[in-house]
Structure 1
Amino acid sequence: MNSLLFTIISFLVALAILIAVHEFGHFWVARKLGVKVLRFSIGFGKPLWKKTSQVDGTEYVVAAIPLGGYVKMLDEREAPVPEAMQNQAFNRQSLPVRSAIVVAGPLFNFLFAIFAFWLIFVTGDSGLKPLVGKVEEGSLAQQSGFVVGDRITSVSGKATPTWENVVYAMLSQALDKDTLQIGVTNPQQGERQVLLPSQDLATMAEEGQLLTNLGLTPDRPEIPPVIGEIVPGEAADKAGMKAGDRIIRVDDQPVTDWAEWVNYVRERPDQTMLIEVSRERESLIIEVTPKTVIPDQGEPYGRIGAGVEQIPSDLWDDYRAIVRYGPLESVGQAINKSWDLSVLMLRMLGKMIIGEVSVKNLSGPISIADSAGKSASFGLVYFIKFLAVVSISLGVLNLLPIPVLDGGHLFYFLIEAIKGKPLSDRFMEQGQKIGLLILLGVMSLAFYVDLNRFLG
C-alpha cells in the first residue's frame, strides 16, 4: 500500500508540474500580448483551492480532476465583453497573436524538457555502460554476431555511451534504415561492425523489452548471495535463516549471484525450497516456503523476507558511465536530445496509425503513473528525466491537428489564413465534437493497452 501511495503521489506531482508548465505558456504569452486572463486552472471540475489576484482579477484554481488544465481568457464568443475591454479579448486579436498564445503551451513543454536535460547534462547523466553480459542462444543478437564481452560504441554512427543511448538510437535509426550498423569493441576481437536487421525492432521494443527480445543481457557485477538482514516474522526468519548466511544451493542448483537467487524465490510463491547455506564454516539445509505477494499491479511473486548484505559502493564503478558536458555545450546537447525524442515519438505515432507499429507501444495513465513512481524511487535525476520525456510527449500530442487540442486550433487558424476570414461557429463546434471523440477513442485504447499490460 505504501508503494501504491508513493506511486500515486509521484504521479500527481508529475501531472501538476507538467500541466502548470503547459498552461503557464498560454498564460504568460497571453498577458505579454495584452489579452486578459480570467482564470488559470490546474485540473478540471470542482475547485479545491482558489485565489483571486487583487492586481488584475485573475482567478488561480487547483481543481479536483488532475488530468489537465486550462487558461480562460476574455472572449466575446463565451460572454459579453464591455466595449472598454474589447481590445483585451482573445477573439479580437490578430491571427499571429492568437497563434502565438496557442502554440505557447506546447512550446513551454519543449522548453521545460530542454532545461531538464541541460540540468542533467551539466550535473552528469549516469547510466550503465553498454557491455554485453549474455547473448541468448538462437536469438537475433547471436545471429547478427554479438558475443559476450562486446561493448556497443555506436549505432549507425551515433555514439552510445550508455544502454539508454543504445535503445533510443536503435529505435530512431530503425525507422530510417533496413539494417543498422552497430559499432562494437571487444578485448579479444577488437573493433568491428555488427549488422542488425531493423524491421522488427519496433515490435521488439513493446513494453520496454527491446534488449530482452533481441537476446541481449547487459553485463553487471556479480553480487555474492550473502544475506545481510532478515525481516522479523517473514518466511526466512521462521525457517531459521540468519544474517551472514551464504546461499550455496537451492533445490540442488548452485547459486553464485544474488540476482539469480532473488529470481528463483520470486518465481516460486508457496513452493517449499530446500536451501543449503554456509554459516560459520558449517553447511546447513534449511526448508523455506516463500510467501505469496499479490502486488497492486502485475503477477503474484514469492518473498521470504531476506535482504542482501551491504554492497560495496565501488562495486558498480567499472560498469557505470557518466555523460557530462559544460554549461554551454549542454545547451546544444539538450536541444538535440529533445529534438531527437520529439521526432522519434512523432514517427512512432505515425507508424502506429498506418499499422506498422503495434499500439502496445502506447502508454496510458496506469503506465505513466507506474513510471512516475519507479523513476521517483530511483532518485531526483531519474524523476527529472521522466518529466522531460513526458513533457515532450505532451508537446507532441498537443500539436497534432485534432480539434480540442492546441494543434487543432492552429489548424483552424491556418484555414482562416487561407480563407481570409474566421471559420463559422457551427463548423468549429462540429470540429470540437469530432476531436473530442478522437481523443476519447485514443485515451480508451491507451487505457485498454494498460490494462492488458498489467493484468495480462
Structure 2
Amino acid sequence: MTSFFGSVFWLLVTLGVLVTFHEFGHYWVARRCGVKVLRFSIGFGSAIWKRIGRDGTEYCIAAIPLGGYVKMLDAREGEVDPALRDQEFTGKSVWKRIAIVAAGPGFNVIFTIAALWLMFMLGRSDFAPIVTATPHSIAAEAGVQPGDRILSVNGQNVSTWSDSLDAMGNALLTLSPMPLTVRQPGGQIRQLTLPLNQLPAGKPIDQYFDRLGLSLAPPPAIADRVKPGQPAALAGIQGGDRIVSVNGQPVADFDGLNKLVQADAAKSPHLTIALNRHGQPLALDVTARWESLGGEPAKWMLGIASPRPEPATVQYGPVRAFSAALATTWRNTRQTFGMIGSMLDGHASTKNISSVIGIAQYANASAQMGLAWFLQFLAMVSLSLAILNLLPIPVLDGGHLLYYLIELVKGSPVSEQVMVVGQYIGLVLLFSLVGWTLYNDIHRTLLS
C-alpha cells in the first residue's frame, strides 16, 4: 500500500472510529433523557448507506467522511407533533440538554482511556532513551554526553525514547529551563538543566528540536550480522566482531564506520579493517562494493548489518495499565491546554497545528508501527477532538454549553438572534482554523 493510499485508508479508519464514538455519546444520552433521535449520521452530504432502526431512527453513512451528527426532534426546526412533544429537545430541562451536548466529548475521553488501557496491556515496542547530542547544540552545551540514558525530563520519569520526546516537546512549548536527569554508561547519575528560555518564541517545534540537538545514540561499531557473499563475509569478518578502525582511522560507532567507508572507498575500494574478536585484535583486507539496494542511491557496501538500538517495551497488567491510562490522559489534557495557552500568549507557534493531511500521515505511520502504536494515536486524536469540541466556539459543543450556562445564570434561553450571530461567528472561526491548518500541512509537505 503506497504512502498516499495508506494515509487515506487509515484517516478514514481514524475518523470512522472516533466520529462514531463521539456521536454515539450524544445519541445514547439523548435517548436516556427521553429525546427522540431522528437521524444518526457518520459523515455529511448524500447518504451512501442508510436504514431505519426499530426505534424509528435513520442510521446512515454519508459521502463526506469529515465528521457526523445526531439530528434530534427540535421545535426550532419545524412543527412538532403534539403526541411527540415530550420527546422534543428544547423542552427538556437545561441540565438534560447540557448532559446530551457534553456526552460527545465525554465519550471521546472514555475512548481515550480505553484505547490507552488496551495499548498498555498489549505492550508498546520502543527504544531505550540512550542519546547523543549534536555538537554545539543546546543539549551538548548543557553537558549531555554520547551514551547518556535519559531517566527523567522536566521531573517526569521516562523509560522510552518516545516518552522522552513527548516530555521534551511539552517543555519546548513553554520555553522554560528544562531539568534533565541522565545516567552515564558507567552508572553515574547527573542532573542537567537545558536553557530552553534562550530559544526565540513563536517558532515551529521542529526547529526547536533541531536546536535542542538530542537524538538516539548510534549503535556501536559491531557487526551484528554479516551478509553472505558480501565483501565483509568474503574477507572473513564475522558476526560479533567490533570494528576498531578503517585504514588506521579510529571508529567510534556504526555511523562513524559508514562515514569512513564512504570517504575512503571513494579513493580506493581496498580497505584495511582493524577489529576486535573475542578480545583479540585482527586486521583484514576488505574490498568495498559499489551498489544500490532496494532502490536506494548507490553507495559503498561492506555487507555488515548494524545492531539495533536497545529495545524498551512498555507493558503492564490490567490494573496498572488502567492507572497508567488515567495518568496519561490527565497529563496530555494538561499539556494540550498548556499548548493552547502558549499559542495564545505567543510562546508557541500556530504552525504546530495539523489538519486532516497531517492526521492522515500520522495515522498511516502509526499503523505501520503496530496495533499498540495505532491505539495510542487514536487515543491522542480522540482526546484532542474532545478538547476542541469543548472550546466555547458557537457551532461546536462548547458553544452550546456556553449558551446553556448563560441560560442557567439568567433564567431564560439565549435569544434566537444571539444564537444566529454566534453561529456565523463560529463558522468563520472554524473555517479560519481549517484553512490555517491546511496551509500549515501543505507548506510543511512542500518544504520536506
TM-score range, shorter chain: 0.7 to 0.9
- How much does 1:115 deviate? 0.5
Q: Residues 428 and 135 from structure 1, CA distance in 2 versus in 1: closer, same or farther, beyond 3 angstroms?
A: same
> Which residue does the alignment assign to 1:143?
141
Read off the aligned partner of 1:346 and give its amino acid letter: F
For residues 343 and 179 of structure 1, the distance between their equivalents in structure 2, rounded to whole angstroms, comes to 19
- How much does 1:15 deviate? 0.9
For residues 165 and 329 of structure 2, the distance between their equivalents in structure 1, rounded to whole angstroms, comes to 16
Do residues 344 (structure 1) and 335 (structure 2) align? yes
Secondary structure of 1:396's counterpart equals helix
> Which residue does the alignment assign to 1:283?
287
Secondary structure of 2:64's counterpart equals strand
Contact 1:73/1:90 (CA < 8 Å) preserved in 2?
yes
Secondary structure of 1:423's counterpart equals coil
> Which residue does the alignment assign to 1:421?
412
For residues 243 and 399 of structure 1, the distance between their equivalents in structure 2, rounded to whole angstroms, comes to 61
Describe the superposition over 1:296-316 as per-residue Cα deviations: whole angstroms up to 9, x where unpaired.
Answer: xxxxxx64599998979xx54
Correspondence 1:9-408 to 2 at 5 A? 9-53=9-53, 55-132=54-131, 134-173=132-171, 178-188=176-186, 190-199=188-197, 206=204, 208=206, 211-221=209-219, 244=230, 257=254, 276=269, 283=287, 286=290, 303=297, 315-316=307-308, 319-408=310-399
Secondary structure of 1:401's counterpart equals coil
Secondary structure of 1:92's counterpart equals coil
For residues 84 and 261 of structure 1, the distance between their equivalents in structure 2, rounded to whole angstroms, comes to 79
Percent identical across equivalent pairs?
A: 41
Secondary structure of 1:91's counterpart equals coil
- How much does 1:415 deviate? 0.9
Describe the superposition over 1:398-443 as per-residue Cα deviations: whole angstroms up to 9, x where unpaired.
Answer: 0000000000000111111111000111110110100000010011
Q: Residues 261 and 387 from structure 1, CA distance in 2 versus in 1: closer, same or farther, beyond 3 angstroms?
A: farther
For residues 275 and 60 of structure 1, the distance between their equivalents in structure 2, rounded to whole angstroms, comes to 71
Q: Residues 434 and 321 from structure 1, CA distance in 2 versus in 1: closer, same or farther, beyond 3 angstroms?
A: same
For residues 433 and 366 of structure 1, the distance between their equivalents in structure 2, rounded to whole angstroms, comes to 26
- How much does 1:213 deviate? 3.0
Contact 1:181/1:194 (CA < 8 Å) preserved in 2?
yes
Describe the superposition over 1:172-218 as per-residue Cα deviations: whole angstroms up to 9, x where unpaired.
Answer: 45667832221111134601200112336796994556544311121
Contact 2:129/2:160 (CA < 8 Å) preserved in 1?
yes
Q: Residues 283 and 71 from structure 1, CA distance in 2 versus in 1: closer, same or farther, beyond 3 angstroms?
A: same
- How much does 1:321 deviate? 1.6
Read off the aligned partner of 2:230 and give its amino acid letter: G
For residues 122 and 434 of structure 2, the distance between their equivalents in structure 1, rounded to whole angstroms, comes to 36
- How much does 1:329 deviate? 2.2
For residues 68 and 107 of structure 1, the distance between their equivalents in structure 2, rounded to whole angstroms, comes to 17
For residues 118 and 352 of structure 2, the distance between their equivalents in structure 1, rounded to whole angstroms, comes to 28
Read off the aligned partner of 2:108 and give its amino acid letter: N
Secondary structure of 1:182's counterpart equals strand
For residues 307 and 4 of structure 1, the distance between their equivalents in structure 2, rounded to whole angstroms, comes to 31
Contact 1:26/1:105 (CA < 8 Å) preserved in 2?
yes
215-224 or 189-198, which moves further after superposition?
A: 215-224
> Which residue does the alignment assign to 1:8?
8
Q: Residues 60 and 141 from structure 1, CA distance in 2 versus in 1: closer, same or farther, beyond 3 angstroms?
A: same
Contact 1:37/1:72 (CA < 8 Å) preserved in 2?
yes
For residues 326 and 284 of structure 1, the distance between their equivalents in structure 2, rounded to whole angstroms, comes to 49
Read off the aligned partner of 2:10 and give its amino acid letter: S
Contact 2:23/2:68 (CA < 8 Å) preserved in 1?
yes
Q: Residues 402 and 152 from structure 1, CA distance in 2 versus in 1: closer, same or farther, beyond 3 angstroms?
A: same
- How much does 1:359 deviate? 1.3
Read off the aligned partner of 1:434 and give its amino acid letter: I
Read off the aligned partner of 1:105 and give its amino acid letter: G
Secondary structure of 1:409's counterpart equals helix
Q: TM-score, normalised by structure 2?
A: 0.83
Contact 2:74/2:88 (CA < 8 Å) preserved in 1?
yes
Read off the aligned partner of 2:147 and give its amino acid letter: G
Read off the aligned partner of 2:4 and give its amino acid letter: L
Q: Which among 411, 429, 432 is matched to residue 423 of structure 2?
A: 432
Read off the aligned partner of 1:161 and give its amino acid letter: S
Read off the aligned partner of 2:330 and give its amino acid letter: W
Consecutive unaligned residues in structure 1, runs of 5 or more: 229-241, 266-272, 292-301
Contact 1:290/1:304 (CA < 8 Å) preserved in 2?
no
Describe the superposition over 1:114-138 as per-residue Cα deviations: whole angstroms up to 9, x where unpaired.
Answer: 0111111122233211111x22111
Secondary structure of 2:385's counterpart equals helix
Q: Residues 310 and 283 from structure 1, CA distance in 2 versus in 1: closer, same or farther, beyond 3 angstroms?
A: closer
Q: TM-score, normalised by structure 1?
A: 0.81
Describe the superposition over 1:99-154 as per-residue Cα deviations: whole angstroms up to 9, x where unpaired.
Answer: 0010010111111010111111122233211111x221111001111111211111
Contact 2:290/2:300 (CA < 8 Å) preserved in 1?
no
Describe the superposition over 1:319-351 as per-residue Cα deviations: whole angstroms up to 9, x where unpaired.
Answer: 122222221222221111011111111221222
Contact 1:258/1:308 (CA < 8 Å) preserved in 2?
no
Read off the aligned partner of 1:63 and give its amino acid letter: A
Contact 2:173/2:347 (CA < 8 Å) preserved in 1?
no
